[in-house]
Structure 1
Amino acid sequence: MNKIPNRQAICEVLMKHAETDKDIVVLCSDSRGSASLTPFANAYPEQFVEMGIAEQDLVSVSAGLAKCGKKAFAASPACFLSTRSYEQAKIDCAYSNTNVKLIGISGGVSYGALGMSHHSAQDIAAMAAIPNMRVYLPSDRFQTAKLIEALLTDEKPAYIRVGRNAVEDIYSEENTPFEMDKATVLAEGCDVLLVACGEMVRPALDAVALLKEEGISAGLLDMYCVKPLDREGLVKAAEKAKVVISIEEHAPFGGLGSMVSQVVGAECPRKVVNMALPDAPVITGTSKEVFDYYGLNAEGIVKKAKELLA
């Protein structure tokens, strides 16, 4: 079982490149430990800025450094980065199309028992609504590393959400197909298409295997690139299926499900159902406990697929 969280994979990639690229600078809001960025701070203190608990300043200073030619990576809990510093993300980063990569750590319900104040179930919708802001939710450590490698080569703003805990591997070091802003096809099927992002990809992949045992052919897209959404890949996969199910660790409005519905409805009409967190304060508990409670697991996905195909 993998014990390396996606946040650690981010640190490892940044450390590898910071040795030769002195323009890389990492900023934190009293979150270097929870972001797994302490090794970076220790190894490259001149390329690390501790802002303290000041998320708005974190984003604005990152934008300023980026305007001076730096490659700024700003890490903070997703629940605060996507709310407290929303105006700074909108104006200082996106409006100016500034090279700041916002890393929302402990996204979704990762903070578990800390409750709604620390859950980020609105961040996909909020960040995706900002022009020029891209939104990514990598599914495992290997895809996370590929994404950060790719983001180091461009100069546009982006929001990357990762969870707090290690997640089971989807890919491997030897086999991680990755194309920037293109969904990864993990399975092809003619009955139901599953479209998932972030930590929901693993239960969706398990659901594909369970459905196959019952004679149901399920396709699966790892839509790590929520914005820009891979419209072409989505339509191509949806055209083969009878129904489409999107799965996300997010509120039911404005996230992956809304985007999938818009594209499928406009370009290849199919019944689309979104599996997400409720429009209500989420129960407290571990991520697994929360997912199980709301049916955001392999068994819940299988149940929903069978209901739709009945």
Structure 2
Amino acid sequence: MKPETTNATTAPSKPRLTTSAMIASIAAEGQATKPAPFGHALIEVARRRPEIVGMTADLGKYTDLHVFANEFPDRHYQMGMAEQLLFGSASGLASEGFIPFVTTYAVFASRRAYDFIHQTIAGENRNVKIACALPGLTSGYGPSHQATEDLALLRAMPNMTVIDPCDALEIEQVVPAIAEHKGPVYMRLLRGQVPLVLDEYGYEFELGKATQLRDGEDILIISSGLLTMRALEAAKLLAADRIKAAVLHVPTIKPLDVETIVAACRKPGRAVVVAENHSVIGGLGEAIATLLMRARVYPVFHHIGLPDEFLAAGALPTLHDRYGISASAISNSIKSWL
């Protein structure tokens, strides 16, 4: 598929600039990034764990698995454009003691191969690690490539652990953690030049744990993945208006860190906003709302997420503003609620 291009300038005297909706970066101009953190982290773990293999369905270059393939060509399996075969084969390898790290796009895993993951991996509790690129609204190619429902689908699957990392640092830490974990894992994957954010906060990933990155008495933003990056940016914008926003990062969507989330939401006089790069149906927002109801904790609650509709195609910055998940849109929404 040929990437669509957009003309960044109409002035005839300037060179034509193009961007790809498929591989568009989520990093802001000048933001620190690291290249292919997933691929490089997997190499480091695989050097210690000979049972680790890498598998993909014609998308190694676009999921950073090509880095692993170059280092360990005899431990890399290119299955072609056959996602159901990919996951069925991964289950078979896991049954023989291997630890497959399987990559594709999130839409292909959560929709095209759902039943194969459900029956052959989750149903058998196989030790397969699924890392999927283009989660939520990280592609401008429209509904065919925007996985806006993946968390809802995968977190409903028994035995499946679900993780939504924020940045390059967290991806580097998640890979060895899930290699140690016994059982199937679904991990949302940021690939290419991935922003580096959490190093400023001395962050350390722990499976199943949420971490408060900053404190604030006016509002609590609970977020995961890309939206934690945006929540931190929004908190800085809010601070300019003397609004103190706390940010609680929840990278493990399943199982949730019940104790930490409930304790953070019990603080009196502080509204709670859940922000996620996912449909408002079935993701982190609904999971936390249900959790709070069961714990009998009733803060003022708001939810920022993608609408329950098929989203448009276009440039990511424009789409993020349009659907309310850019830092400025989050900041404006919060100010309207206070």
Q: Find the aligned partners of 1:165 and 1:12 in 2 and give their Cα distance.
A: 11
Q: Find the aligned partners of 1:284 and 1:165 in 2 and give their Cα distance.
A: 21
| Residue in structure 2 matched with residue 261 of structure 1 by the alignment | 289
Alignment match of 1:11 (pick from 33, 39, 52): 39
Alignment TM-score, normalising by the size of structure 1: 0.94
| 1:101-140 → structure 2 map (5 Å cutoff) | 101-112=129-140, 114-140=141-167
- What is the CA-CA distance between 1:290 and the residue it aligns to? 1.2
Q: Find the aligned partners of 2:322 and 2:96 in 1 and give their Cα distance.
A: 48
Q: Is the 8 A contact 1:107 1:164 kept in 2?
A: no
Aligned residues: 306
Moved more, 128-137 or 232-241: 232-241
| Residue in structure 1 matched with residue 226 of structure 2 by the alignment | 199
Instruction: Provide the aligned C-alpha RMSD in A.
Output: 1.6
Runs of 4+ in structure 1 off by over 6 angstroms are none
Alignment match of 1:81 (pick from 94, 106, 109): 109
1:2 aligned onto 2:29: no
1:210 aligned onto 2:240: no
| Residue in structure 1 matched with residue 22 of structure 2 by the alignment | none
- What is the CA-CA distance between 1:172 and the residue it aligns to? 2.2
| 1:19-168 → structure 2 map (5 Å cutoff) | 19-112=47-140, 114-164=141-191, 166-168=193-195
- What is the CA-CA distance between 1:193 and the residue it aligns to? 0.8
Could you list the per-position Cα deviations for residues 121-179 of structure 1 after superposition, in whole angstroms to 9, with x for gaps in the alignment? 00000000001111111000101111111111122101001234544322229933222
Could you list the per-position Cα deviations for residues 46-76 of structure 1 after superposition, in whole angstroms to 9, with x for gaps in the alignment? 1111111111111111011011000111100
Alignment match of 1:270 (pick from 299, 315, 332): 299
| Residue in structure 1 matched with residue 327 of structure 2 by the alignment | 298
Q: Is the 8 A contact 2:154 2:160 kept in 1?
A: yes
1:221 aligned onto 2:248: yes
Q: Find the aligned partners of 2:145 and 2:191 in 1 and give their Cα distance.
A: 12
Mark the runs of 5 or more structure 2 residues left unpaired by the alignment. Answer: 1-30
Q: Larger Cα Rg: Structure 1 or Structure 2?
A: 2
Q: Is the 8 A contact 1:167 1:199 kept in 2?
A: no
Q: Find the aligned partners of 1:249 and 1:22 in 2 and give their Cα distance.
A: 35
| Residue in structure 1 matched with residue 20 of structure 2 by the alignment | none
Q: Find the aligned partners of 2:289 and 2:193 in 1 and give their Cα distance.
A: 30
What secondary structure does 1:273 align onto?
strand
Mark the runs of 5 or more structure 1 residues left unpaired by the alignment. Answer: none
Moved more, 31-40 or 164-173: 164-173
Alignment match of 2:204 (pick from 177, 180, 189): 177
Q: Is the 8 A contact 2:90 2:128 kept in 1?
A: yes
What secondary structure does 1:276 align onto?
strand
Alignment match of 2:315 (pick from 267, 286, 299): 286
Moved more, 62-71 or 281-290: 281-290
Could you list the per-position Cα deviations for residues 17-46 of structure 1 after superposition, in whole angstroms to 9, with x for gaps in the alignment? 223421000100001110111121122111
| Residue in structure 1 matched with residue 27 of structure 2 by the alignment | none
Q: Find the aligned partners of 2:48 and 2:230 in 1 and give their Cα distance.
A: 39
What secondary structure does 1:118 align onto?
coil
Q: Is the 8 A contact 1:195 1:220 kept in 2?
A: yes
CA gap of 1:173–1:210, structure 2 versus 1, over 3 A, is: closer
Could you list the per-position Cα deviations for residues 240-271 of structure 1 after superposition, in whole angstroms to 9, with x for gaps in the alignment? 15211111111110001101111123321112
CA gap of 1:165–1:10, structure 2 versus 1, over 3 A, is: closer
Moved more, 299-308 or 247-256: 299-308
Q: Is the 8 A contact 1:111 1:164 kept in 2?
A: no
Q: Find the aligned partners of 2:200 and 2:57 in 1 and give their Cα distance.
A: 31
Kindly provide the amino acid, as one letter, of the partner of residue 276 in structure 1: G
Kindly provide the amino acid, as one letter, of the partner of residue 323 in structure 2: Y
Moved more, 211-220 or 200-209: 211-220
What secondary structure does 1:107 align onto?
coil
Sequence identity percentage? 32
Q: Is the 8 A contact 1:162 1:198 kept in 2?
A: no
CA gap of 1:178–1:20, structure 2 versus 1, over 3 A, is: closer
What secondary structure does 2:92 align onto?
helix
Q: Find the aligned partners of 1:272 and 1:86 in 2 and give their Cα distance.
A: 32
- What is the CA-CA distance between 1:305 and the residue it aligns to? 1.8
What secondary structure does 2:277 align onto?
coil
